[in-house]
Chain A
Amino acid sequence: KAGVTQTPRYLIKTRGQQVTLSCSPISGHRSVSWYQQTPGQGLQFLFEYFSETQRNKGNFPGRFSGRQFSNSRSEMNVSTLELGDSALYLCASSWRQDTQYFGPGTRLTVL
């Protein structure tokens, strides 16, 4: 099976803009989670979607949102970008409610 894929791999934006990141899970996986990875904060949980519903949410401001489509693909949106949003954004998919498989990530740089 193909692994988790994320697009784009790299993105450069300026403050105030918005961005949409995409994640395609492993075929058959219905759960998609999103994480923000920064050198100082490690891996921070953003949210998790299962069957098109947000099931879990981390402690991020409302500027961070997401959705999941009927084919389990998921998108994450960040509005009104801030410098501090520069990070590697990882998504992970799982079939059962445990083992997560990560995508390669999208490296977002906010100037």
Chain B
Amino acid sequence: GENVEQHPSTLSVQEGDSAVIKCTYSDSASNYFPWYKQELGKRPQLIIDIRSNVGEKKDQRIAVTLNKTAKHFSLHITETQPEDSAVYFCAASIGGNFNKFYFGSGTKLNVKP
């Protein structure tokens, strides 16, 4: 089955800096890649997603890039703010079987004011 690896496991940045989280996947049939943000004690919330027919997608300070050849995708957060502090999860789903998701192990982002 699919295997999603996520790095780093923890990331500490200064407010205003950029943060980058990287994920790799193993199954070339994966074609939908969402990113979730989970604040302490709260549910995961979708923040951005990308499909395999797109190389990059942006939403204000957040962007996701996808390299299908290398089978990796990344989350980029610019101008980080303390409220960006949370655990971020990447995920991949395979082919026509969208609703079976494989999640990365999570990255704990700490934005220092």
The segment from A13-21, A61-69, A72-80, A94-102 found at the interface with B is A94-102
Residues of chain A with a CB closer than 8 A to B45's CB: 102
Decide: A102 near B99, CB < 8 A? Known: A42-B89, A42-B105, A43-B89.
no
Known interface pairs A43-B89, A99-B34. Does A48 touch B100 (Cβ–Cβ under 8 Å)? yes
Which residues on the A side are within 8 Å of B98 (C-beta)? 96-98
**How many A-B Cβ pairs are below 8 Å?**
58
A53 in the interface (beta carbon within 8 A): no
B34→A42 contact, CB < 8 A: no
Considering only residues 32-75 of chain B, those with a C-beta below 8 Å from chain A are: 32, 34, 36, 42-46, 49
Contact partners of B99 in chain A: CB under 8 A = 31, 33, 48, 50, 55-56, 94, 97, 100
What secondary structure prevails in chain A residues at the interface with B? strand
A105 CB contacts on chain B under 8 angstroms: 43
Q: Which residues of A contact B32 (CB under 8 A)?
A: 98
A44 surroundings in chain B (CB, below 8 A): 103
Q: Are B44 and A98 in contact (CB under 8 A)?
A: no
Residue contacts A-B, CB under 8 angstroms, 28 given? A4-B43, A31-B99, A33-B101, A42-B103, A42-B105, A45-B103, A48-B99, A48-B100, A50-B99, A56-B100, A59-B1, A90-B43, A97-B96, A97-B99, A98-B32, A98-B49, A98-B93, A99-B46, A100-B34, A100-B46, A100-B101, A101-B46, A102-B36, A102-B43, A102-B44, A103-B43, A104-B42, A104-B43
**What residues of chain A have their CB less than 8 Å away from a CB belonging to chain B?**
4, 31, 33, 35, 41-45, 48, 50, 55-56, 58-59, 90, 94, 96-105
